[in-house]
Amino acid sequence: MNPKRVAIFLVAGLFFYLALYTWNLRTGLLTRLSIYSGLDSVGAVLRPGSWAGHAAGGFVERYLSLVGLKQENEALREEIKALRLESMTLRERAEATARVEKLLGFPEPPDWRREGARVIAHRIGPTAILETILVDRGKLSGAKEDTPVLCTEGVVGRIYRAGLTVATVLLLTDPSSRVAVVGRDNRAAGVIYGMGAGEKLMVKYVGLQSSIEPQEILVTSGMDGVYPKGLPVARVTSVRREEGTLFMDVQAEPLVDIAHLEEVLLLKRAARPEDSRPLWD
């Protein structure tokens, strides 16, 4: 082949690629097309196998759990008693708080609906450089980008890409993940940054004057506009105060065992806006 023709072909190809890449960055059309075709077909292929795996695993687990069932029952009964007592106290406190908020004219918090979803895969394909999981809920069931995802232990992440029937969840541990948090006991505010799989989370922008202790639970502050306030996110593992800096060096660990996640909850905001009152009201 003529080298000149090869060079022209390569340059034309590169030009076409760059034009396509830039055009798609602006319009997002090809990304949407690949999500609705590729992501959903991946979901359709993986879902039956994942369901079969869960069913088989559940069967084996149920069989194995028959061993030591009596002792477990007794321990659970004790736990239920303790939780009932705690729930009673907390209910009283919650009702009192609601009354005070009403008296002070606080706007009502937005309604969030929970919907269960099954994890059908973790990272997928050659371009899987993000820490993600794939769940079996998509736009058809109301899941959309930035929908918070949690499990019973705490925050898992948020939806990064939503297809029609499946969605990709960006995990808390991904380096591009940010969550605005506050200490549950001392109320020190900060932002949690993911540092990659298996790594501790970094809590940035915690002021030197703030109080924060190891083992303190960090909950969402609601300041990022993605997560509702008060969801548990991580536990502080180390706090260092260094001279010459404005902020403390705080590390934390996620409350959720991400590697073994099987089911998650999607938190969907109700149609009503968070605070529909005008600012001057």
Phi, psi (degrees; rounded to nearest 5) at 153: -85, -30
8 Å CB contact between 158 and 149: yes
Among 163, 183, 232, 254, binds other proteins (CB under 8 A): 163
From the list 18-26, 85-93, 221-229, 271-279, the region that binds other proteins by CB under 8 A is: 18-26
Report the run of H or E that residue 241 belongs to, with start and end. none
Task: Please choose, from the candidates 269, 267, 199, the residue with its C-alpha nearest in 3D space to the C-alpha of residue 234.
Answer: 199
- In the region spanning residues 35 to 54, those forming contacts with other proteins, defined by CB under 8 A, are 35-42, 45-46, 49
Joined tokens for residue 281: 């009201």
The yes or no reply on residue 11 touching other proteins (CB under 8 A) is no
Matching residue, tokens 């932002």: 191
For the bound state, the minimum distance from the C-beta of residue 226 to other proteins, rounded and expressed in Å, comes to 19
Give the contact letters, 54-83, x = binds to other proteins (CB under 8 A), - = no. Answer: ------------------------------
Q: What angle do CA 221, 247, 173 make, to 5 degrees?
A: 55
The yes or no reply on residue 262 touching other proteins (CB under 8 A) is no
The yes or no reply on residue 127 touching other proteins (CB under 8 A) is yes
Q: How far apart are CA 108 and CA 240, in angstroms?
A: 38
Taking the least distance from each CB to other proteins, the nearer of 45 and 100 is: 45
8 Å CB contact between 253 and 235: yes
Count of residues engaged in binding other proteins, rule: CB under 8 A: 41
154: left (phi over 0), alpha (psi -120 to 50) or beta: left
- Give the three-state DSSP class for 198: coil
Task: Please choose, from the candidates 191, 193, 196, the residue with its C-alpha nearest in 3D space to the C-alpha of residue 130.
Answer: 196
The yes or no reply on residue 20 touching other proteins (CB under 8 A) is yes
For the bound state, the minimum distance from the C-beta of residue 42 to other proteins, rounded and expressed in Å, comes to 4
Taking the least distance from each CB to other proteins, the nearer of 36 and 112 is: 36
For the bound state, the minimum distance from the C-beta of residue 25 to other proteins, rounded and expressed in Å, comes to 7
Matching residue, tokens 């029609």: 164
The yes or no reply on residue 128 touching other proteins (CB under 8 A) is yes
- In the region spanning residues 177 to 236, those forming contacts with other proteins, defined by CB under 8 A, are 196-197
111: left (phi over 0), alpha (psi -120 to 50) or beta: beta
For the bound state, the minimum distance from the C-beta of residue 131 to other proteins, rounded and expressed in Å, comes to 9
The yes or no reply on residue 156 touching other proteins (CB under 8 A) is no
Matching residue, tokens 């990064």: 160
Taking the least distance from each CB to other proteins, the nearer of 20 and 60 is: 20
- Which residues sit at the interface with other proteins, rule CB under 8 A? 13, 17, 20-21, 24-25, 30-31, 33-42, 45-46, 49, 121-130, 132, 134, 160-161, 163, 168, 175-176, 196-197
